[in-house]
Chain A
Amino acid sequence: MQNTETDAQDIQLDAPLAPKRTRLEEFWRLFRKNKLAIAGMVFFILFFFLAIAGFGLTRGDNPLLDPAMVRLQDKLRPPLAKPNLERLQANEIPRLGVYIFGTDDLGRDVFARMLQGSWVSLTVGFVAVGIAVLIGIFLGGIAGYYGNRHIRVGQLLAAAFFIVGALLLVGKLIWSGSALLIGGAGCIFISILMKKAAKAKTKSAGTRFWYFNTISIDTVVMRFVDIMLCFPSFFLILTVVALLPASIYNIMIVIGLTSWMGTTRFVRAEFLSLREQDFVAAARALGLSNFRIIFRHMVPNAVAPVLVSATIGIATAILTEAGLSFLGFGVPPPHATWGNILSDGQRFIFDAPWLTFVPGIAILIVVLSFNLFGEGLRDVLNPKLRERN
């Protein structure tokens, strides 16, 4: 028997390994088959570099393409029109020597404005989705991994004290606010004192009350998600934006803070199934910390659906920003965005249709390409959908 054993192991050692194929190669092999997704990806990359180029070309004191230069002599010129050199002053002549997308009612170069707007769209899309994804992974991870745990009465009391106290402090009620904060600290102190009593077999009534399980963490997080989803998000954003000073950063943050619910659900669902997998049990049996299990073992396996929803989320964020700007709640006026170019142009839709069509088609192409790219990613990353292509 000793003989057969060594034989078996020799075979195993000598067995040639299959040709090494990385995940990226595997991904590309499948992704390549989806022509629409490839087109989406090309536009995605194109848009990315265009926006960065636009940022470089339109900023500074004397930009190559000045989006804010008003030339009333040259207003409402059609696309590809040559500037009227006789009536323009030397510093007003566009550097390119042609209005590629025409000019608007103040004679501003629409091409320059579109480039400036593309940077806005890109940053709004990425930052807003970045915020949403971070919140989503955090809350979804908590709900998925720690969801079974219940919030105890003591913890509930401490949290209530802290939240109400902080609110009162913000509302300038210093005395009652700090009293509640001290009450919260007291709750934590009691919990620390009770730690030993809670481990004993027989517990006193007070300890049992203090450790009484109320609602599970999963319930708290997921019902909060449900509540957030109940608001029609666009109107929620409108309300918040109306209250806050108009700035591009506020818009990014508000869009981010109102669009994390989908990611949270995805991450929770992934975590629920990953938690039962053997490799997570093995990691726990090895004695790895929860932090390491979550971030080394579970998050890398849960990002695929998040990536997909993020790609599609960028398109939604761009669309939301354009909608806000169109309604006049977006980025304040001297700064051009696709939404406010569109909004300015609607008054001249019959005289100067390019003012509406150029930003409109740009939004259409970018949103469509992001969606196609996102769906292509989803098909490749989710093996269950693969057969369809």
Chain B
Amino acid sequence: MNEMGSRNATILQVDNLKKYFPIRRGFFQKITGWVRAVENVSFKIKRGKTLGLVGESGCGKTTVARLILKLLDADEGQILFDAQDITQLDEKEMKPLRKEMQIIFQDPYGSLNPRMTVGQSIAEGLKISGIHNRSKQNQRLEKLLKMVGMSPASSDRFPHEFSGGQRQRIGIARALSVEPALIICDEPVSALDVSIQAQIINLLKDLQSQLELSYLFISHDLNVVGYLCDKVAVMYKGHIMEYAPADALFDHPFHPYTHLLLSAIPDTEHKIDAELNATADEVSNTLNPPSGCSFQERCPLNEERCKHNPIEFEKMGPDHLVRCWKVARNGSY
């Protein structure tokens, strides 16, 4: 947070973000319950850095991504993009900011319009960023395709003619077409082969250093996150459980859930006792969360106090926050 001068060093700051989805039943569509998808999520992303958001399926990672992009409206909390509060902006006021944030999707098959050629898809973004001249569009298109490692000849092909990895590259090119400052990568590699994963991750890293991009990298794969991210937030059922620099998280994980995730990586030194109940009922808790800690049902350290008191963040080191009172008291897991 220094050399950027007038520009804000924090590109994205999220404070106490909250999103509940109503469950409607019956003829009159009465609201019978709430899915608590995102609860009190806060984090910061520095310009040019990468934040990893880790957690199992259904824990609210993608909802966070959609909230930040304003594809969904947050119920509570604040999203500050480049120090500007975007939470209350309507579609019209949001338009100039849309160029600044882009998204790369998990599913390379669904993320491209099957009726548009690759060139047309990317040109949509070029038009948004004000390049209307045909020859200039083509120049830029060629440059973008080369940048993501595709042949410029692919621009008049349709998405169904490409492999998953190639399509993911096209998706990245489309995101880059408006020259964003922040890219939200929503599990960009989890649908790909391991060999292709490495290519895409290296491409993302390369682009970051070339274009000074910031990433919010959403994944359930800790290996990838460890390789790519500067900071990591571990999410469980809508809550952030542990928030720490990547090295600190991998070297000294505190939260029992982080331990569980780390133990899921094959061939690491992070082995854990089989006490952790790895298969708990996933949905029930987001519908009717217990009071107290949201992880209590699967936690080996579960105690009476976890059931009642709301669990707050405990500071375990510089920038290392953990939402577990017991680990904080013991000083380790």
User: Residues of A at under 8 Å CB distance from B?
Assistant: 1, 4-5, 8-9, 12-15, 17-18, 20-21, 23, 199, 277-279, 281-288, 296-297, 300-301
- Tell me which of B114, B124, B146, B169 contacts A286 (CB under 8 A): B124
Instruction: Report, nearest first, the 9 A-B pairs whose CB atoms are least far apart.
Output: A287-B98, A9-B149, A278-B111, A12-B149, A278-B105, A300-B115, A8-B199, A278-B110, A279-B113
- Residues of chain A with a CB closer than 8 A to B151's CB: 12-15, 17
- Residues of chain B with a CB closer than 8 A to A284's CB: 71
Are B149 and A285 within 8 A (Cβ)? Answer: no
Are B128 and A286 within 8 A (Cβ)? Answer: yes
Chain B: minimal CB distance from A201 (Å): 9
- Residues of chain A with a CB closer than 8 A to B114's CB: 301
Are B110 and A20 within 8 A (Cβ)? Answer: no
Q: How distant is the Cα of A286 from the Cα of B99 in the complex, in angstroms?
A: 6
Q: How distant is the Cα of A215 from the Cα of B128 in the complex, in angstroms?
A: 35
Chain B: minimal CB distance from A18 (Å): 6
- Tell me which of B94, B103, B146 contacts A282 (CB under 8 A): B103
- Residues of chain B with a CB closer than 8 A to A286's CB: 98-99, 102, 124-125, 128, 174, 177-178
Q: In chain A, what residue has the closest Cβ to B165? A: A12
Are A8 and B202 within 8 A (Cβ)? Answer: yes
Are A8 and B95 within 8 A (Cβ)? Answer: no
Interface centre among A8, A199, A278, A284 (most CB of B within 10 A): A278
List B86-123 residues whose CB lies under 8 Å from chain A: 88, 94-95, 98-99, 101-103, 105-107, 110-116, 121
Chain B: minimal CB distance from A106 (Å): 54
Q: In chain A, what residue has the closest Cβ to B154? A: A17
Given A8-B198, A13-B151, 13 more A-B residue pairs with CB atoms under 8 Å apart are A1-B202, A12-B150, A13-B146, A17-B151, A278-B105, A282-B171, A285-B98, A285-B102, A285-B103, A287-B98, A287-B178, A296-B124, A297-B116
Is there a chain A Cβ closer than 8 Å to B319's Cβ?
A: no
- Residues of chain B with a CB closer than 8 A to A9's CB: 149, 199, 203
Are B202 and A17 within 8 A (Cβ)? Answer: no
Are B95 and A4 within 8 A (Cβ)? Answer: no
Are B105 and A281 within 8 A (Cβ)? Answer: yes
Q: How distant is the Cα of A288 from the Cα of B169 in the complex, in angstroms?
A: 21
- Residues of chain B with a CB closer than 8 A to A278's CB: 105-107, 110-111
Are A4 and B105 within 8 A (Cβ)? Answer: no
Count of A-B residue pairs with CB < 8 Å = 93
Are A17 and B99 within 8 A (Cβ)? Answer: no
Are A285 and B124 within 8 A (Cβ)? Answer: no
Chain A binding site: helix, strand, loop or mixed by DSSP?
A: helix
Are A279 and B112 within 8 A (Cβ)? Answer: yes
Is there a chain A Cβ closer than 8 Å to B271's Cβ?
A: no
- Residues of chain B with a CB closer than 8 A to A296's CB: 116, 124
Is there a chain A Cβ closer than 8 Å to B153's Cβ?
A: yes
Is there a chain A Cβ closer than 8 Å to B157's Cβ?
A: yes
Q: How distant is the Cα of A58 from the Cα of B286 in the complex, in angstroms?
A: 73
Are B103 and A279 within 8 A (Cβ)? Answer: no
Are A287 and B110 within 8 A (Cβ)? Answer: no
- Residues of chain B with a CB closer than 8 A to A301's CB: 113-115
Are B161 and A18 within 8 A (Cβ)? Answer: yes
- Residues of chain A with a CB closer than 8 A to B10's CB: none
Q: How distant is the Cα of A23 from the Cα of B157 in the complex, in angstroms?
A: 11
Chain A: minimal CB distance from B101 (Å): 7
- Residues of chain B with a CB closer than 8 A to A277's CB: 110
- Residues of chain A with a CB closer than 8 A to B154's CB: 17
Chain A: minimal CB distance from B189 (Å): 13
Q: How distant is the Cα of A279 from the Cα of B113 in the complex, in angstroms?
A: 6
- Tell me which of B102, B105, B199 contacts A12 (CB under 8 A): B199
Q: In chain B, what residue has the closest Cβ to A287? A: B98
- Tell me which of B66, B125, B128, B153 contacts A17 (CB under 8 A): B153
Chain B: minimal CB distance from A58 (Å): 41
Q: Interface 1/0s, chain B 236-255, versus A by CB < 8 A?
A: 00000000000000000000
Provide a sorted-by-A list of 5 A–B residue pairs whose CB atoms are within 8 angstroms: A13-B149, A17-B157, A18-B161, A287-B94, A287-B95
Chain B: minimal CB distance from A251 (Å): 35
Q: How distant is the Cα of A12 from the Cα of B166 in the complex, in angstroms?
A: 8
Q: How distant is the Cα of A287 from the Cα of B177 in the complex, in angstroms?
A: 12
Are A282 and B99 within 8 A (Cβ)? Answer: no
Q: In chain B, what residue has the closest Cβ to A5? A: B202
Are B111 and A279 within 8 A (Cβ)? Answer: yes
Are B110 and A279 within 8 A (Cβ)? Answer: yes
Is there a chain A Cβ closer than 8 Å to B158's Cβ?
A: yes
Q: How distant is the Cα of A12 from the Cα of B168 in the complex, in angstroms?
A: 12
Are A281 and B71 within 8 A (Cβ)? Answer: yes
Chain B: minimal CB distance from A216 (Å): 9
Q: How distant is the Cα of A282 from the Cα of B112 in the complex, in angstroms?
A: 8
Chain B: minimal CB distance from A255 (Å): 30
Is there a chain A Cβ closer than 8 Å to B206's Cβ?
A: yes
Is there a chain A Cβ closer than 8 Å to B69's Cβ?
A: yes
